Every structure is written in structure tokens, then in C-alpha cells.
Structure 1
Amino acid sequence: MFKGLILIDNDQIDYSLDLMDVVNRLAGEEETFVYGLGINLTEKVKGLDAVINVEAPAIHSKDSRVLTDIIEQVHRKYQFDSIIILATEFGRMVAPRLAMRLEVGLVADITDIHVDKRGKKLVRPAFSGNIMASIVCESSPIMASVHPNVFHGEHLTKEPEYIDFIPEELKASSIEVLEIVESEQNGVDIREAEVIVSAGGGFTQPIEQLQDLADELKGVVAVSKQLVDRKKAPREIQVGQSGKTVSPDLYLALGIYGSTQHIEGLKNVKEVISVNTDLGAPMNYLASIVVHGDAAEFARKLSSKLKE
């Protein structure tokens, strides 16, 4: 039996439960048993086989050092075949600490999994997103981090067994834990948006000019990595492997070339409209409609037409 552990983030419980899909894929044809680890859980969860519940009111659930101690103790008892963690700001503090503690490798930001007779291969972008690397994991447990919204769990109706776990000798970190708050537009995270108006390196105007168009389409504004690197937009609205993974009904790509790093941030998008002066841009080959022209001019004219 293949035993997997997923870390439940109280702030992103739905995305945490999607990690069950990672464990099931890693198991291949083996039977699976998926545990979830919750620290001071704020709500009941479904779909898992068991939930290891740690009630420690004095411990902040975002204390990465203490959480690493807890996961290590839980693993020593249950001996998991895989440990999967969301690649949030907090998860990126926990995962490498835990990997060092358990003396295993960590495959960060995985986007796909292949299991065959040659082994369990985790796929992730490499060389700034220019290629996809398949990494064979031979150590145990297999450790990986995953962006929210990349994998998707299904049929989450099963009532799990709840197991109380009392960790030993926990000492709170002396470092003050600050709450990590991600910015939203009109209360909507770009990962939850049905319509996204996204600007890339070919969009020459300030992105604030896109807000009117996004409002007309009842959507949100996003950007590619190029604009974040140029300090023209915050990372919280970046789409891509180093940003967020999105699944809108409509993705309006304005001046986006479409590198592998960016494409990996698009999952199950229903319709793509690409506006670009470069007809050879990879994004055009994903699009239902391609507009050959200046992205900023197109956005301005479309916004005017919609207002009319």
C-alpha cells in the first residue's frame, strides 16, 4: 500500500485537498491511503482516508520551524511513502526544512507525474521555464511542493477517520510570525476568476489602464512574469510557474509571448484570445481567436465598444 501525507493549510483547505490527486498519481497501480495533517483545523474536511489532527492552541499554525518538528514526528510514526505540500509562501518555508530533516530530495513546483517501469517521475520547469525536466525519485519519502490549482481532487465525499496526535517537546519559534496576506481585486483571487485580462511584455501601457476592461468583462487583471520583473505589477497577480495557476472560462492574453513558464500557469482554460504583433508567439497556438495587432490599442478599443 502506498501511504501519502498532505499538509492541510487552514487558509487554503480546498487547494490542500487537491493534493490527494498527486498522491494517487504517484501510487500508480498501488492501493493508496491518504492522510491529511491538520494543525488546529478550522473546519471538517472530506475525501481523505484519515486526518491526523494536532490541537495545540499555543502553537501558531504558520510557525514553519514548529510545523517541521510536527511533520517529522508524524512521519517517524507512520512512515509515509510521499509527503506533499502546497507551494505557497508558507509551504516554501516548510518543505525544504523538512526535506533536510528527513535527508531526502525535494522536487519543487511540480506540474505533472508519470509512473512507469523506470520509476516515479515528477515533472517541473527548468532553465527559467524553457524546458520541462522529469526527475526520477528513488529516495523515500518522495517529497514535492505543488502550486495551488495545478492538480484537482475529485469525489471528495468520503468521511475520514480522525486521529489525535500529541507531539513531543515542541518549542515555539522565537521569530515573530506575520500573517501572509495575498492581494485580491474586488475580493477575487485571480485563481478563482472566471475572466482574466492578462498583460505581458508586449503591453506597453500601465496595467492600471486594463481595470476598466476587466470591470466591463466582470473579470480581474493579471500579468506575466516580465511585467513583475520590470516592477510594473505585483507578484500576487502573476500567472505562471513562479506565480499562480489559473483556470478561467476566458483568458484574454494581451501582448503575452507564451513561454513555457507562463503556459504552465494555465490549466483547463476554456477559451483563450491572444492579441499580439508577433504571429509566431506560442500563445497564439493555444488561442481560439488570434488578433494581430497592438495589445494596448486593442484593449482600449474593446473597452470603449463594451461601454457603448
Structure 2
Amino acid sequence: MASPTVALLGTGLMGAKMCRRLASSGFTVQAWNRTVEKLEPLAEAGAKPCPTAAAAMDGASVVILMLADAPAIRSVILEDPSAKALLKGKTVLQMGTIGPKESAALAAEVSAASGCYVEAPVLGSQPEAEKGTLLIMVGAAADPKDDPTGPVWPLLLALGQELNIHYIGPVGTAAAVKLALNQLIASLTIGFSTSLGLVQRSGAPVDKFMSILRASALYAPTYDKKLQKMLDRDYGAANFPTKHLLKDVRLFEAEAEAAGMDTAVPSALGSVVSAAVARGLHDCDYSAVFEAVYGPGEGAGQAQAEAEGAEGSGAQ
């Protein structure tokens, strides 16, 4: 069976890698991005650059969304009459991080336009997208695995692996799980930053602290992944930039508040990430939250230089 033609809207940090992965897996990919220059390397990888979202959607059976947020999605596929008219008979595969209520509202609008909506947010960064090993959470009326010859399942297999594709439930449930996981990214990174900062300020040896931490039930692998960046205060190019973490923490806070939960913790997390963004570290790796908790001191100039060097490197 021939692979379907796919429209991929949004070729930022993750979208570009996913586009390359799909093209190399035999799919015909019609790509669109607001920043046209980001499409040029994808043409060399086998994708077809398109001047508008509607042009990318024309002839495609699946429209993959890797746009910044729900307002951007609505602007691109629902508020543009030419794009909205092309939703009829198509499957919209929403793979970015948005709120559960936002996803449910988009699903209703896509359905009203005679399209089918599936949410499939991913956990992982650019290396996983490139290798096709993303963790994928699916929210839909039915598990796409039950329709292996349908348009969605082959795409998910190309971007993840069968063991990494998890059907969660109806639309909204996968979006909630994704936000819950991203809240943990913020919690773990800020918690580790705070502990590491106190160890450094006290003069205790960091290697002793890490040895004890690694041998305990408190350890998480992300600590070692971010340790050197924090010690060097050199956050480099971002697989997942600080500004996107801030968006996700704020989304989690809003959903938690709507669910009647106490939001003191996500509010505090958001304040820390916001402080890092305010220091000009928005396009740096999210380990830059260390700057917000550690405070001024030796190395702060290097962090600022990295922030300035990273300007303009984010998605779209």
C-alpha cells in the first residue's frame, strides 16, 4: 500500500527533524513554515516546500501540526478560509503541546469542518525525532493501532516505535498526560538546580553530592544530562528552549486551576522559568533555569553571552 501524502505545518526545532524522518521513511511530505528559510534544507532532504499552509494541505490525507500553540493552530488551519476548506476528509494529527481543553475545542472545530482530529503529543527532543524513537501519547475516539492500514498508524510508527506509542483515551487525555510530563521536566530541573546551587554556595564538593544522589532513590538521569551545563553555566543550543518550558508550565497551571487543584507549586515553577526568560535565556537550553535560582556570581557573564548567541535559534 502506498504511503499517504502528508502535510507538515511547522518546521521549527522538532518539526524539521520529524519532516526529515518522514521523508526518509518513504512518505511524501509537503512542508510549510512561517519562516520560509527553514524550508530550504528540508527540500534537500526530500520534502516539498510550500508557500502557504493551504498549498501544503492540498492533496494530503494527513495534516501534521507542529505549531507553537493552540492560537497558532487556529490561525493557520481554521481562520484561513482556504486552509479550512481543505480539512474536509482529512485527518489532523496534532503533535505539539497544548492544553486538554484547547485540544478538545480544536477537535470540535475540525469535526465541524468534516475533518478527523487526533492528538498525539510527543516526549523526546531532536535526537529522538531524528531516529524515530519518540514517545507518543494518543488521544482519539479509537486507538489508531486498531486500524493499521489507516493513515495515522504508519506515521506514528515512523516517528516512534510500537512500544513507545501509547493510546491514552479520548481527545484531551493525551494532552493532559503530556502536560503532566512537562511539568515534571520543570520540577526536576528546578529542584536539582536549587540543590546544586546550595551545594556550590556552601563549598561542599559537587562530586560527593552527585555520588550520594546517584546511589539514592532520589536520582533521575536528567540530573547528569544537565549537570555540566549548570556547572559551566554554558547552556548552548537548545533541544528544548526555556521559552517553551515556560509556555508548558503556564498551560499546566491553567489546567490544574480549572481542575480545582492547588496551583502553588506550578505557579512557583513558572516564576522561576519566567525569571530565566527575563534574563535573556529564552532560546537557551532549559537547564538555564539554574541562573534564576543560583543568582549572580562568577559565570553569569558566560551565560548571558550564550543567551545572546542563541538569539533567533528557536522554532518558527
TM-score by length of 2: 0.34
Where is the strand percentage greater, Structure 1 or Structure 2? 1
TM-score by length of 1: 0.35
